[in-house]
Amino acid sequence: MKTLILISLLVVTISALPSTRNNRIWNGENATPGQAPYLIGILWYEFATTIQPLNICGGAIVNVWWTITAAHCLINNLTGIGRFEIVVGQHFVSIANRSGREQFRNIAVEFIHPNFAGGASAYDVALMRLDAPLAPFNEFVQPIALQAQSAPPLQSGTVRSFGWGSVTGGPPHVLADELQTVQLPIMSSELCREVLSTILPSNPFSSSCMCTVRFENSGNVCNADSGGPAVANLNGQNVLVGVLAWGTSCTLSGFPTVWSAIGPVRTWIDQTIQANS
């Protein structure tokens, strides 16, 4: 029970409706090992004696020392009741299914974007410096290029995301053991703002947000996929263009999912890393 409460504290602020499908990321597909070598998992060990952690959020590798995620994944100081750990090279969360390619690190210091207001809001992005550098980089562990400084949020095309979040799409949320992936169409900021204003009374959309929807009959990101990457193929290169912030529904067509776009916070990312390395 305590576990469920924790998940609901840490995951995206989503009011998901029960779904009739019982599938992946939600309704995505199994990733192949090494498909997202830049992906991190944020593991939560509830007690000192916990052996099997929960993967409560995702994120991405920036360089050997630094990883990026959503601010709301870290905002509650839960140090007193358990501990976080960062994993890279992970495909299955269950320790019984580990491949031996995983690398585990602790968070040495975390930096929440100064404009993050908490809850479903803009600038839901955070940087984590690890307690030891990731090594080696290989087929399963790699950094990802970041969207260029001041590049606006993408307005069209598709992105791919990955995560171990809810496969049920609504309560009771069941988290994935094997990494899931889904492709998502980008929704223009203009349309997103318009749709959100009809769904949410206080619309926290800002110009630093990027929006996606789901393809009809396809999947979507869901609870505990938070912090996970939106990856676009730009000129043949995988580029991190967003981290998962919040959504309005995992399962309903036309309901936007909101990402913290990387371009608008790239200066903050570069300056924070430079000043604290």
Ligand X SMILES: *[C@@H]1O[C@H](CO)[C@@H](O)[C@H](O)[C@H]1NC(C)=O
Which residue in this structure is represented by tokens 């905002």? 75
Q: How far is the CB of 144 from ligand X (least distance, A)?
A: 26
Q: Choose the stretch contacting ligand X; rule: CB under 6 A; options: 14-22, 73-81, 191-199, 223-231.
A: 73-81
Given 115, 178, 200, 273, the residue binding ligand X (CB under 6 A): 178
CB hemisphere CA count around 207 (13 angstroms): 4
Q: How far is the CB of 92 from ligand X (least distance, A)?
A: 6
Q: Choose the stretch contacting ligand X; rule: CB under 6 A; options: 21-29, 89-97, 134-142, 195-203.
A: 89-97
Q: How far is CA 260 from CA 27, 93, 140, in A?
A: 23, 25, 25
Which one, 82 or 204, has the nearer CB to ligand X? Answer: 82
Q: How far is the CB of 81 from ligand X (least distance, A)?
A: 8
Based on the shown chain and the rule CB under 6 A, indicate whether residue 106 belongs to the binding site for ligand X: no
Which one, 52 or 63, has the nearer CB to ligand X? Answer: 52
CA–CA separation, 152 and 242 (whole Å): 11
Q: How far is the CB of 43 from ligand X (least distance, A)?
A: 15
Which one, 77 or 198, has the nearer CB to ligand X? Answer: 77
Q: How far is the CB of 88 from ligand X (least distance, A)?
A: 19
Which one, 17 or 81, has the nearer CB to ligand X? Answer: 81
CA–CA separation, 270 and 132 (whole Å): 20
Residues touching ligand X, count (CB under 6 A): 9
Q: Is 34 left (phi over 0), alpha (psi -120 to 50) or beta?
A: left
Q: How far is the CB of 110 from ligand X (least distance, A)?
A: 8
Q: What are phi and psi of 257, to 5 degrees?
A: -115, 135
- Say how many C-beta atoms besides its own lie within 10 A of residue 45's C-beta: 15
Which one, 76 or 253, has the nearer CB to ligand X? Answer: 76
Residues 6+ apart with CB under 8 A from 68: 59, 60, 62, 125, 126, 127, 128, 227, 240, 243, 269
Based on the shown chain and the rule CB under 6 A, indicate whether residue 80 belongs to the binding site for ligand X: yes
Given 45, 92, 137, 268, the residue binding ligand X (CB under 6 A): 92
Q: How far is the CB of 178 from ligand X (least distance, A)?
A: 5
Based on the shown chain and the rule CB under 6 A, indicate whether residue 45 belongs to the binding site for ligand X: no
Given 5, 51, 96, 275, the residue binding ligand X (CB under 6 A): 96
Residues in the chain: 277
Query: Tokens in use for 272?
Result: 């924070």
Query: For binding to ligand X (CB under 6 A), which residues are involved?
Result: 77, 79-80, 92, 94, 96-97, 177-178
